[in-house]
Amino acid sequence: MILHQNSGKSVTVIGGGVAGMSAACALAEAGLRVQLVEGRRFLGGRASSYLHPGVQEVIDNCQHALFGCCTNQLGFYRRIGVEQKIHWTREMTMIEPGGRRSLLGPSCLPAPLHDVPRLLSAHAFTLADKLALGRAICALLRPIPADSTESLGDWLRRHKQTKGALNRFWRLVIASALNAELDSIALPYAAMVIRGLFLNSAEAGRMGMSTVPLSELYAGADDFLKARGGGVLLSTRVEGATWNEAVAQWTVQTSSGDLRSDFVIVALPFEATAKLLSHMPPVEGAEALAEQLARFEHWPICSVHLWFDREITELEHAVLLDREIHWMYNQSRLQTGRGGHYLELVVSASRSFAALERKAAIELALAELADFFPRVKKAKLEKFALVKEVRATFGVPPGIDAARPTAISPWPNCFLAGDWTATGWPSTMESAARSGHLAAEAICKMIGEPRTILDPDLKPQGWMRWIR
């Protein structure tokens, strides 16, 4: 079967994650005819939701948080008209075992001081922790060379961080945002997270969560493409692609037939891109790309989904200190119309938790949850699910930037996207959205209709305007 894409310039976007969707929608808006091809039954990739057969509930594969500084992800949401489905918060509650709480969040002081008053009054940190954190964060106000080969772990040792600062801030908040261990994080990425979330402005650091399951959010992308003469092919795996020089067109071989188009965007995770390379035409540069791809490493994220017979906490979300479980999200409060008493617990960057058997993982999670919320002991657990995403994110160790290719591929009329490409961002939905926008910009430039698609960064506020 040949599925023709008929008028104007056409593009096949391979992979319906945030990168593929962002690229596809931006190109459709620019007037190209776009076919988005996704192997699974639903859009979203590593940030998606589905009906879990064990609990008969639609759940996200994991809670996905975004921040005010994620301008391209927000640009994508605005484009498809779903930005009002994001719930924003400026506060973060840290809870110690035993239940004592500390509330972090902005004050009316100018950036970068806006978060300082609440940090100073937080019970979660001793005076020595606060002094150590203050010293380190001030040091990060100085520019960090982008090619620094130092790891965050080494840098923290040099800056004499206390145990409390290490465990309760650097490990839990920063390493968990980057989903890796401290020694496996390149310093510039850690500095970028600190600046983005805590220093540049209160707006940049606000946290957003979807009020609907993630794949429901992306229904907007499907409608957007269809309304502009494009479409989405679900349950369609791409198996290879060939380039016809004579007509300057690609033929993409899929499990549902061949697709012809003028351009192709490969918006797959790094390992799926590596697999596809051997089914693409041989070309100079493909081997070097394969070598770059081989340098990426995965880190896991696990989520435990628990339904109780009663409310466990009135909090929407919290950071849980000193335990294996890191984050609690009260989905019954966060998601519209959810009902019941559904909590989701997230464990980042823990290969030991990911290796646990299901029963052991649930028992550990429940026992730890009770250390923070005593109501768990009296509550009845009605149902539960454990989602282990072993290939959740790629690590950003020192030197990783040399392995991240730009949108330009070794093949003619073929572009690369995906969170792992050279966006300057760690493995996040923002990186994926940026990569999609960069690939779309490259195609518009190539057809002689250049336009700016990449959404600009938020401008630093307060005194941060003068601190570079």
Ligand X SMILES: Cc1cc2nc3c(=O)[nH]c(=O)nc-3n(C[C@H](O)[C@H](O)[C@H](O)COP(=O)(O)OP(=O)(O)OC[C@H]3O[C@@H](n4cnc5c(N)ncnc54)[C@H](O)[C@@H]3O)c2cc1C
Binding footprint of ligand X on the chain (CB under 6 A): 14-20, 37-40, 45-47, 61-62, 64-66, 237-238, 267-269, 272, 301, 389, 392-393, 418-419, 427-432
Q: Strand ranges (DSSP E) for 174-272?
A: 207-210, 231-233, 238-244, 249-254, 257-261, 263-266
Residue number with CB closer to ligand X (69 or 137)? 69
**Phi, psi values for residue 403, rounded to 5°:** -95, -5
Sequence-ordered list of residues with C-beta below 8 angstroms from that of 41, at least 6 positions apart, any chain: 50, 234, 235
Strand-pair category, 10-14 with 33-37: parallel
320 vs 252: CA distance, rounded Å: 47
**CB environment 30-50: b (16+ within 10 A), e (fewer):** bebbbbbbbbbebbbbbbbbb
162 vs 173: CA distance, rounded Å: 15
Residue number with CB closer to ligand X (209 or 366)? 209
Residue number with CB closer to ligand X (201 or 421)? 421
Report, in Å, the least distance between residue 236 CB and ligand X: 6
Task: Give the closest residue to 411 by CA, choosing from 252, 255, 236, 256.
Answer: 252
Report, in Å, the least distance between residue 416 CB and ligand X: 10
DSSP string, 340-371: SEEEEEEEES-HHHHTS-HHHHHHHHHHHHHH
Residue number with CB closer to ligand X (238 or 366)? 238
Residue number with CB closer to ligand X (66 or 94)? 66
Report, in Å, the least distance between residue 147 CB and ligand X: 23
| Distance set, CA 32 to CA 13, 53, 246, 259, 455 (Å) | 12, 38, 21, 15, 20
Report, in Å, the least distance between residue 428 CB and ligand X: 3
- CB-CB contact of 313 with 306 (8 Å): no
Report, in Å, the least distance between residue 53 CB and ligand X: 18
Report, in Å, the least distance between residue 182 CB and ligand X: 19
| Distance set, CA 309 to CA 41, 243, 339 (Å) | 32, 58, 11
DSSP 186: B
Residue number with CB closer to ligand X (18 or 187)? 18
Report, in Å, the least distance between residue 58 CB and ligand X: 16
- Reduced to 3 states (helix: H, G, I; strand: E, B; else coil), residue 279 is coil
Report, in Å, the least distance between residue 233 CB and ligand X: 9
Residue number with CB closer to ligand X (10 or 161)? 10
Tokens of 375: 């109501």
Residue number with CB closer to ligand X (301 or 376)? 301
